[in-house]
Amino acid sequence: MDKNTAEKLYEAFYMKVFSYVMTLTRDQNDAMEITQETFFRAISTEREFRGESESFTWLCAIAKNLFIDEKRRKSRFEDAPLDEQPDEKKSFEKSLMDADTSIRIHRILHTLEEPYKEVFQLRVFGELSFKEIASIFGKTETWARVTFHRARLMIKERMDES
């Protein structure tokens, strides 16, 4: 990849990829490292990009794989699981003001099944559009909307139960 193309790719997608990685890592330093490594790999292994997806989707796939590798590497040295830190929009914003409720939401999100947990995190923490979420999963925008809505319902139901 030539220098000009690499710079354009970096400038166009750095913040989006960083935001996505932040939803995964919940740690700014780790997110910065993974984001930098993502662009390094994308730029240095350009010939592997087949053009079958959008650049952002391709970069997120690289970032997610790097995150998984890093998580596996750390799990070998640490016994503690990663904490999930949910945040809610609109109807849950008032509930988050209460510390007890906030902890309950954190626990519920931690136990939420995939892909609901990841879609919810991408939408709330990553502030990604449904179209961007759909492209990451290789699904439709409608799928992303429905999955997010179901995740919100699951959280609300579990909140009501406890």
CATH number at residue 35: 1.10.1740.10
Percent of the chain with pLDDT strictly greater than 90: 9
Note whether 7 and 73 are same-domain residues: yes
Note whether 8 and 60 are same-domain residues: yes
- Is 35 among the domain residues? yes
Q: Are 44 and 73 in contact (CB under 8 A)?
A: no
Note whether 67 and 108 are same-domain residues: no
Kindly report the pTM of this predicted structure: 0.50
Note whether 115 and 140 are same-domain residues: yes
Neighbours of 105 (CB within 10 A): 22
Note whether 101 and 41 are same-domain residues: no
For 62, the domain range is 3-77
Given a cut of 70, whether residue 19 has pLDDT beyond it is yes
Rounded Cα distance between 152 and 77, Å, is 34
Residue range 71-111, pLDDT digits in tens: 888 776 665 444 444 444 445 445 445 566 667 776 888 88
Task: Give the dihedral sign, CA 16/122/127/21.
Answer: negative
Rounded to an integer, the average pLDDT of 121-138 is 85
